[in-house]
Amino acid sequence: VVTESDETNNEKIVTFSPSLADLIVQNITWSPTNPSIGDNVTFTMTIKNQGGGGSAESGVDLLIDDVNADYKALGQIEAGGTAEVTFTWRVKAGTHQIKAIVDLQKDVPESEESNNEKTIAFVPLPPDLIVEQIAWSPSEPIIGDTVTFTVTVKNQGEGRSDYAHIAYYIDNIQITSDRVNPISTNATDNQTFTWAAIAGEHVIKAFVDYTEVVAESDETNNEKIITLVPIGPDLIIESIDWSHNDPSAGETVTFTVTVKNDGGSRADASLVYIYIDNSLRGYQDIPDMDPGTRVIRTFDWKVTLGSHAIKAVADDSNLVAESNEINNETLIAYPMPDLNFEAMIWSPINPSIGDKVILTAYLKNKGSRRAGGFQIYFYVDDEAVNYQDIPQLDAGARVTSTFEWNVTAGPHTLAVFADGANVVSEGVESNNGETVAFSIPAPDLIIESITWPSGEPSASDNVVFTVTVRNQGDAKARYSSVNYYVDGQYLASGQINSLEPDAETEEIFSTWMSQTGPHTIKVVIDEENQVPESNEVNNEKVVTFSTENTTSAAPAPDTKPRQRPAPLPLTPPEKDYKTEIFFGIVVVIIVVTLTLSLLREFRRRK
């Protein structure tokens, strides 16, 4: 024990802090770098100890979309050192948050406990599945054939697709489905299904990923639709003829029915029926029929008073599977007239503006009874312009009508119509007209532009205007005149040569204004409408421009009123050579006279 002078200063205290670790997730990488949906991707987490002391053993947790997916143990890491851990995950569709947390349980004392995690966004490359093609075999199936469809599915996206399903529909009814294996980028996969062909037009649809399990860059292009019409027979009633016209009551009439197989394959045996006023009057057998062949059958009937509906029906019981099941019958009225235009011709075939078209229409009474008096009307663009009276037309007889039309520019419809007033009761009322359409080419002259030097000229300046005339029509334009107006007053006129379609020409004129301020310039091409055009209301253009004040004296304005020029001729003017010939003769005489005078003077001096 030591006795001291100061017993209170015998100790000292210092603060000591040992070096601690500081673990961070330095980096997250993955392989492959551009994974597709369904790939196994390996994440590599780089852990660094950026503290001053070594770290004890710990671990790294992997969270995907905030759900703990895996854990890996982590050994000791010296100060400044790094370590790596890896995780494997099968890629799913969509955008994902990948998070790595080191020392989640806080087992390692660290100088900083708030920097132990790292998060990245992870987006796999999306696929895009489409049905590229639907093919079938046989290429021209016949009704009853087993058709094999081959469906080509393509992945046109950036990433590989996962497993998917494809559905097949016939006429919007799903008939089967199939599984589609994963498809690499720009690769294809073929699927097949079969169907027993039946009559009619059918809609075939393939729909890939119809269950929507594959996340794609485009979800709206997963289906393809085609139409298919199997080849089959097609029985039609080609015609119903009768033995004589205008029968009397009690007479026997024989109807001749022509049945045709208008389809593409052989038709099995069937029956043809005849109905009179909707009452079955008989039927006859029809043998097997190859495509394009005809069979003729006859039926007798004793005529009764009045008009009657005669109907023939092929395969009335639908025993034959046909490509078209709704065209098996034909109906006529008997005895009745039936006015029908057989043909309509015109001359010239390709008319031009100004031509006179002669239109000839051939009308036949295809019915079985005489048609009383009626009229044939001629229409131009839905307007009746002429007509012809027809006193009567016997059954089976023809009449010819002729009409004239002076051609004008533009599209036109010419039509003839028989018995427009419906004074003749016919078996068929819907076949009384015939129409033909024309499109007559024509020029179309326009003032495309009016230009002048930039800036505002002085009131006393002479301004030169350049006018561009264009033919925007589809025919050549003849010579025409162009008129110029300033502030509503006629100024001058000129003439342009003929213009081909889509051609243009430039004309110039000049003028000056005595007053400052705005002025209007109007240019009109073909003002007198001497050139027939497809559009006669677009021949002028108006522009405005301004003149500015000036101190120089302006010429006195011409106050004498000007008159619009007379229309120019449609043919180019002939050049007058008389003046030029006379002037040439005078020049020759003068030259000869001078030459002779010089020769005499030369001889005199010698």
Which of the four pLDDT bands, split at 50, 70 and 90, describes residue 553? very low
Measured in degrees and rounded to the nearest 5, phi and psi for residue 591 equal: -65, -45
**pLDDT at residue 96 greater than cutoff 70:** yes
Residue 244: per-residue pLDDT: 87
Per CATH, the number for 129-228 is 2.60.40.10
Neighbours of 349 (CB within 10 A): 7
Query: Which candidate, 240, 234, 241, places its Cα nearest to that of 327?
Result: 234
Tell me, what's the pLDDT at 458? 74
Q: Please report the sign of the dihedral spanned by the C-alpha atoms of residue 267, residue 301, residue 306, residue 251.
A: positive
Q: Is 596 exposed, middle or buried (0-12, 13-18, 19+ CB in 10 A)?
A: exposed
* pLDDT tens digits, 147-205: 999 999 999 999 989 899 999 999 999 999 999 999 999 999 999 999 999 988 999 99
Mean pLDDT of the 10-31 span: 85
Q: Average pLDDT in the 579-583 region?
A: 60
Range in 375-379, 468-472, 515-519 the model is least confident about = 515-519
pLDDT greater than 70 at residue 581? no
Residue 568 has pLDDT above 60, yes or no: no
Nearest to 92 by CA among 129, 120, 64, 63: 64
The backbone region for 94, taken as left when phi is positive above 0, alpha when psi lies in -120 to 50, beta otherwise, is left
Res. 104 pLDDT band, cuts 50 70 90: very high
Does position 420 have pLDDT exceeding 80, yes or no?
yes
57 with 91: CB under 8 angstroms?
A: no
**Mean pLDDT value of segment 343-360:** 92
pLDDT tens sequence across 234-269: 999 999 999 988 898 999 999 999 999 999 999 999
Confirm if 496 and 538 have CB atoms less than 8 A apart. no
pLDDT above 90 covers what percent of the chain?
A: 71
Answer whether 420's CB lies under 8 Å from 388's CB. no
Q: What is the CATH number of domain 235-334?
A: 2.60.40.10
Q: Please compute Rg for the chain using Cα positions.
A: 49
For the chain, helix (H) and strand (E) counts, in that order, are 1, 35
CA angle 25, 27, 28 (to 5 degrees): 105
Would you say residue 49 has pLDDT above 90?
yes
Pairing of strands 146-155, 164-170: unpaired
Residue 588 pLDDT class (50, 70, 90 cuts): low
Domains 23-122 and 339-440 equal at CATH topology level: yes
Mean pLDDT of 343-354: 91
Domain boundaries, the chain: 23-122, 129-228, 235-334, 339-440, 445-547
Peptide bond into 335 cis (omega under 30): yes
| pLDDT number for residue 573 | 44
- pLDDT score, position 200: 86
What is the reported pLDDT for 162?
87
- The reported pLDDT for the residue numbered 353 is 85
Per-residue pLDDT band for 586 (boundaries 50, 70, 90) equals low
- Cα 374 to Cα 424: distance, rounded to the nearest angstrom: 7
- What's the order of all strands across the beta sheet hosting 58-64? 67-74, 58-64, 96-102, 117-122
What's the pLDDT band for 579 if we cut at 50, 70, 90?
low
> Domain spanning 339-440: which superfamily?
Immunoglobulins (2.60.40.10)
Per-position DSSP letters for 116-164, written without gaps between them: -EEEEEE-PBP--EEEEEEEEESSSPBTT-EEEEEEEEEE-SSS----E
**Which of 196-205, 351-360, 488-497, 559-568 shows the lowest per-residue confidence on average (mean pLDDT)?**
559-568
Query: CATH fold of 445-547, please?
Result: Immunoglobulin-like (2.60.40)
| Residue 560 pLDDT > 50 | no
pLDDT at 510: 86
The predicted pLDDT at position 3 comes to 81
Q: Which residue, 69, 66, 58, 68, is CA-closest to 25?
A: 58
User: Mean per-residue pLDDT for 406-432?
Assistant: 91
Of 34-38, 104-108, 445-449, give the lowest mean pLDDT range. 34-38
Strand-by-strand arrangement of the 517-525 sheet: 489-496, 480-486, 517-525, 540-547
Q: Is the pLDDT of residue 232 over 80?
A: yes
Average pLDDT over every residue of 502-510: 93
**What pLDDT score was predicted for residue 95?**
87
**What pLDDT shows up at residue 514?**
63
Helix, strand and coil in the chain, % to nearest 5: 5, 50, 45
342: Cα within 13 Å, side-chain hemisphere: 11
Element spanning 585, H or E:
helix 578-605
Average pLDDT of every residue of the chain? 89
In words, the CATH class of domain 23-122 is: mainly beta
